């Protein structure tokens, strides 16, 4: 199969992510079958997409003909039997292993024998899900980021049994949708959700120790680091419940490695229902913003905070390369396109110097005497030898 617009696409799950994937495929002139077991969700998906696209017409970003074409190519169905002609199927249902296994087992019996099956999971094992299939060679992970039509990154994750042709065809298809694809090993968090953990975890540690409050940490990362959002703003936007659950999942999957240890401060916010923007209060008060403290703009403190969080991020990025999760190039592309980091972390390391990053991590290790602050062997070796990451591309 080649990656052309004649390929019929199936999408399982008509929530925000599934609707977004359907929109992308239809925009690139594929016939799309969007399935959900609940007719009410299908209607909600259809109404929501029409509203989003009509706003694009109002803003003169799209024409009426373009919008009409996108909407006409999406078929909302509540029976999987409509997937008989699909050549690629993307699943985007709840993050529950058994639910995904059951869904794929059902759809495999309906789709053509060469149909590629892809899960949008952000944290579950590709190998585990594939065990429900009779032909796991046609199965892999294709992790889109929310909102799927706007976010450029898609992580492609082959499982143990995935055929090379399955990877090549899926990557080619999604590349043709003007996405940035990166290849990741089937390990917890893949690239982005693994490498990004210190952005939140180290910020929370600084907060819990009373070194700085949330506005001060956010100020340091935005004004000194150039990040679009600070970690506490971002946790409130994502939802503290969602962010905490991902951290807890990665922590458990890595056999309780202290590098990924969740925060009691965030856990207590979740328990209290302070989930962030969606509940009106999290680390910040969105109902009464005047109650939020002003950041401490002390430059020395800000630089210390930024250096600490960045060093831990770089250490995690180096570990992803060292453990063959992804290439140097794919790690940096993932962080720039998946979470909008101002620079690739390994590119940043080359600019600062691996020795400087190592000094920061070793100072933390010496002060805390914790395994959390162990430097990655690759980073240590590069600090000693003077080799830079760009030489490994």
Residue with tokens 């120790």: 209
Q: What is the tens place of the pLDDT at every residue in 314-324?
A: 999 999 999 99
Q: What is the tens place of the pLDDT at every residue in 346-386?
A: 999 999 999 999 999 999 999 999 999 999 999 999 999 99
Contacts of 156 (CB under 8 A, 6+ apart): 140, 141, 142, 143, 167, 170, 171, 174, 181, 182, 183, 184
Q: What is the tens place of the pLDDT at every residue in 244-258?
A: 999 999 999 999 999
The pLDDT value given to residue 3: 47
The pLDDT value given to residue 6: 82
At 1, is the pLDDT very low, low, confident or very high (cuts 50, 70, 90)?
very low
Kindly state the percentage of the chain with pLDDT values over 70: 99
The pLDDT value given to residue 264: 97
Torsion of CA 211, 212, 217, 219, to 10 degrees: -130
- Mean pLDDT for 258-271 is 98
Statement: residue 280 has pLDDT above 70: yes
At 4, is the pLDDT very low, low, confident or very high (cuts 50, 70, 90)?
low
Q: Which residues are catalytic?
A: 122, 143, 155, 193
Instruction: For the chain, list the domains and their CATH numbers.
Output: 9-186 (3.40.50.720), 191-393 (1.10.1040.50)
């Amino acid at each position: 199969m080649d990656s052309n617009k004649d390929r019929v696409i199936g999408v399982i799950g008509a929530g925000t992510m599934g609707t977004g994937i359907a929109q992308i495929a239809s925009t690139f002139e594929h016939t799309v079958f969007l399935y959900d077991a609940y007719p009410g969700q299908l209607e909600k998906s259809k109404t929501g997409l029409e509203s989003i696209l009509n706003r694009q017409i109002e803003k003169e970003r799209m024409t009426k003909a373009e919008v009409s074409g996108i909407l006409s190519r999406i078929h909302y169905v509540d029976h999987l039997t409509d997937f008989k002609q699909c050549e690629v199927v993307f699943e985007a249902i709840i993050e529950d292993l058994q639910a995904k296994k059951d869904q794929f087992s059902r759809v495999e019996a309906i789709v053509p024998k060469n149909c590629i099956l892809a899960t949008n999971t952000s944290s579950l094992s590709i190998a585990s899900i594939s065990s429900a299939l009779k032909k796991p060679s046609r199965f892999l992970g294709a992790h889109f980021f929310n909102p799927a039509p706007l976010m450029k990154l898609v992580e492609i994750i082959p499982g143990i049994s995935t055929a090379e042709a399955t990877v090549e065809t899926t990557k080619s298809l999604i590349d043709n949708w003007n996405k940035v694809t990166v290849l990741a090993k089937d390990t917890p968090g893949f690239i982005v959700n693994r490498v990004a953990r210190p952005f939140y975890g180290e910020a929370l540690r600084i907060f819990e120790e009373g070194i700085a409050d949330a506005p001060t940490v956010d100020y340091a990362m935005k004004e000194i680091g150039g990040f679009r959002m600070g970690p506490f703003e971002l946790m409130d936007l994502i939802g503290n419940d969602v962010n905490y659950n991902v951290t807890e999942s990665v922590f458990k999957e890595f056999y309780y490695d202290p590098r990924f240890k969740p925060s009691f401060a965030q856990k207590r916010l979740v328990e209290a229902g302070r989930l962030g923007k969606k509940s009106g209060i999290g680390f910040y008060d969105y109902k009464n913003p005047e109650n939020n403290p002003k950041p401490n703009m002390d430059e020395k403190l800000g630089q210390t905070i930024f250096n600490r969080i960045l060093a831990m991020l770089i250490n995690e990025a180096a570990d992803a390369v060292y453990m063959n999760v992804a290439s140097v190039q794919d790690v940096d592309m993932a962080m720039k396109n998946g979470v909008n980091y101002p620079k690739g972390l390994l590119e940043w390391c080359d600019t600062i110097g691996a020795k400087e990053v190592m000094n920061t991590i070793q100072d933390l290790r010496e002060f805390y005497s914790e395994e959390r602050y162990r430097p990655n062997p690759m980073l240590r070796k590069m600090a000693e030898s003077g080799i830079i990451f760009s030489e490994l591309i």
